[in-house]
Chain A
């Protein structure tokens, strides 16, 4: 397994006035053999970042490196593999499960060898090897997602990018897929960028957590620390908003204040200064003296702050969760 590094990666869509910067100068490292969880709200650029890594969208700037060398996108063996959110659309309905998996294998293998490998992979993802001949149509969402995982593993990748792989599954089967991901990761020592909007899910599988907001990584650090002592108000807001059994909507959290914007800003027209300032419970709308938030971009100097937080007040953010 190798280390995946995004270095100042930018992805833009559209031209002229319609330009959207979906990923904005992202620096992020997935260390060899570890799982980095990437959280953020819808439209924050999580999927785009992953797609840039596997070459499904072209990056407009920056570099994507594997162990320090630019990712090669040659035919034959693909060193990065992606698993998609919707298992109903990510498998070719006209191709047998076995063919889909075999197709992703590196070239130059005999038929028999491929067949044996398919069987091995199916068993690895806890499916019956006899499933190889069946079409995806007869499989449940959870089973399909296992096949998609097997297909990704078939390519013998260095890094796996898993984009919301449990969101489309039934609640009662999500757990099993998460267990599988964790188990595989430990057994095979995989490096994984695990994308989800669900903090609890990310927390369960990740060693490190990166929080993305409007195309940027605003906080990055060891999973337990980021969740127990977040340094960026946005992370705190996400934690506070995560629904939990045993809490009530009446238990007010800082982000409930009515003077704050409820909605994420438009990526077409990002706010000045800190992109989070109109929603920040520790920002200028609540503490008027914090004018710097609306003026200076807190990305500058983020490297020197705890958790590389993109917040001017990261050091004295008084937050912690029970």
Chain B
């Protein structure tokens, strides 16, 4: 796994170039002094200061030595000194960098301050200063460059360590009595190693340049030793006579510097500090899978498009199949066979895999599912907010009678902007932190409805009042961080009310809130819904929250709808997953003397969904039939379940309800709380 990452990186242009360059330099550093070392020292009084010739590829220097050979031989010194200086910088920097984490509070702060001071000092000046102290020569220069580089590395270590030190596993280690030294070596450093290695590599490139500079200035390597910097210095004095003598060491410095920097980039890519978007070799995205009961997963060839709505809009032949008797024009939203796919390292994954969803005017629909079940993605896809790299397809996707895939971007923005409102879990990330709340609300009507600035602001204040933000006038002029969580969420709802939406999609709107505030926000949402007649789709992992607010509940599991039922039928849910979910979450009436029902295992990854029913590995009723994908079918009036063995009878309050794999059990007798 790790190895394949590296191999992949080597295949990328940056990786390939850096690897080739670096191996060439390393080989040179190893063998050049051995092979050409003597030849490069050989003076030739008969050929002083010559230009390039057949005998001397880049000409000769003032003593008649071959410049090409000298450049090659100098590789070892140049690289060696650069690496040495980097090692010094890294060691001192790491030591200084972990100090704050190891020392007490006060001493730690002092260490941080010192490093910050040292960083502010210009590195070159520091190097010159050290060169003077340590004496002119390679030793002084190495120390100088090493020590000059230490503070910036120390700061890097500090910031990275500080970030890791705040994580719970470090607290846990402290609580477990782990000593400071062990804390540093086992818990802190291993978890910051990656950015440090990347930076050390880039730093080596810098050290190489700095060294060349010092030698060039005559305060680096001293004769008779020579490195590229000195060759450059010597060559430069005769640049008009023999440009090659100056160019060659210059090119060597640049190439070696480049090799280090590119290596840094490559490592960064492999360890995931930078991400590269790769879309190649994924193969063709299978189009619309229609799963008929008797025809398991047929895959039709399709195109691999990139735009958001590239699903083919096939004839919407199937009449409303959700068992309700509403006129089609009564639907605010109709999605059929909605699929959201992502390109992944091993081909396409489908976190939303053929979802049917119909929302009628003024209705409240709840979507329940665990994290990763695809409930949010379903909503985002409908609202056209799915991530960039996602491919959304559907055989039908109608909003207010308009087929979304057929509309231009501008039309869609306008339609969705005025008629659909989204409320997210974390309103802090959905508000712009640097803009007053009132202005952000006002912006909505200004963009979509062209209200004047004043009118838009007044409406914003009015809406904030509507969602019961106290002192709305004053609050409108505040920034999002000045709002509490509950108030931000209400402001978010207020933003949705700036125009008059026909559909409000609320995605875990209260998950981050306390129960008391949650109740208020939900009551507000309901009130708004009643007053405006908008339909609401409420998404939550909490079946109780959804049941309090919604008329109809859609249960999702692993990217598919497994059950759809009116809220008053929850107690007679038919799908084993719905039933297990209801039994495994404790409520205020749960029998505390019995173990909670549990669902073994964990939800599957969308990339590794079992064939057939995705719940089968965790299901007590699974049998061979379940390897074929079940489809949503009526199990009761207005209730549909995608299961080969739908259960009936009341959901038992406790575990082992239905542990005996019975099929279509008639009404179960037994305790209902």
Contacts and interface: CB of A to CB of B under 8 A. Distances in A.
Interface of A: 41-42, 51, 54-56, 74-78, 80-82, 84-86, 89-95, 100, 103-104, 140, 142, 148, 151, 154-155, 170-176, 178-179, 182-183, 197, 199-201, 203-204, 227, 237-250, 255-256, 258, 262-264, 279, 321
Contacts of A75: 177, 179
A182 B545 CA distance: 26
Contacts, number: 197
A56 B174 contact: yes
B446 interface: no
In the A-B complex, the 4 residue pairs with the smallest Cβ-Cβ separation, listed nearest first, are: A90-B168, A104-B176, A175-B596, A175-B584
Contacts of B515: 41, 197, 199, 238, 241-243
A301 to B, nearest CB: 26
B354 to A, nearest CB: 22
Interface string B515-535: 111111011001000000000
A304 B571 CA distance: 44
The size bracket of the interface on B is 35 or more
Interface string B145-173: 00000000000000000000001110111
A89 B168 contact: yes
B576 to A, nearest CB: 12
Contacts of B590: 200, 203-204
Contacts of B571: 245-246
A78 B514 contact: no
Contacts of B526: 249-250
B300 interface: no
A171 B171 contact: no
Given A172-B602, A173-B599, A264-B484, 11 more contacts: A41-B516, A54-B175, A56-B175, A90-B172, A92-B186, A92-B187, A175-B584, A199-B515, A244-B588, A245-B587, A246-B571
B385 interface: no
Contact of A103 (B173, B487, B585, B587): B173
B598 interface: yes
Contacts of B549: 249
B602 A249 contact: no
12 contacts: A56-B174, A90-B171, A140-B602, A170-B602, A172-B370, A182-B595, A204-B586, A241-B519, A242-B588, A243-B518, A243-B545, A264-B517
A203 B541 CA distance: 20
B342 to A, nearest CB: 21
B133 interface: no
A246 B553 CA distance: 13
Contacts of A80: 175
B191 interface: yes
Q: Say whether chain B's binding surface is mostly helix, strand, loop, or mixed.
A: helix
A262 B468 contact: yes
A176 B587 CA distance: 15
Nearest to B368: A171
Contacts of A55: 174-175
B588 A227 contact: yes
B589 to A, nearest CB: 8
Contact of B596 (A103, A154, A179, A262): A179
A86 B544 CA distance: 23
Interface in B17-61: none
B588 A92 contact: no
A99 to B, nearest CB: 8
Contacts of B589: 244
Contacts of B186: 92, 95, 103
Interface in B598-623: 598-599, 602-603
A94 B588 contact: no
B177 A155 contact: yes
B169 A204 contact: no
Nearest to B673: A246
B588 A200 contact: yes
A308 to B, nearest CB: 22
Contact of A256 (B523, B548, B586, B588): B523
A258 B599 CA distance: 41
A175 B587 CA distance: 11
B545 A175 contact: no
Q: Which of A142, A242, A246 has the most CB of B within 10 A?
A: A246
B183 to A, nearest CB: 10
Interface string B556-597: 000000000000001100000000111011111110100111
Nearest to B599: A172
A263 B176 contact: no
Contacts of B588: 199-200, 203, 227, 239, 242, 244, 321
A90 B169 CA distance: 4
A148 B544 CA distance: 29
A165 to B, nearest CB: 11
A85 B168 CA distance: 9
Given A242-B588, A245-B544, A249-B523, A262 B171 contact: no
A130 B582 CA distance: 33
B334 to A, nearest CB: 27
A151 B175 CA distance: 11
Q: Which of B191, B486, B522, B544 has the most CB of A within 10 A?
A: B544
Contacts of B122: none
A247 B175 contact: no
A103 B178 contact: yes
A86 B370 contact: no
Q: Which of A86, A174, A249 has the most CB of B within 10 A?
A: A249
A179 B595 contact: yes
A76 B584 contact: no
B462 interface: no
Given A94-B191, A104-B176, A151-B176, A244 B586 contact: no
A117 B1 CA distance: 31
A244 B176 contact: no
B586 to A, nearest CB: 4
A175 B596 CA distance: 6
Contact of A81 (B175, B570, B581): B175
Contact of B172 (A84, A175, A200, A250): A84
B190 interface: yes
A258 B523 CA distance: 12
A100 B173 CA distance: 8
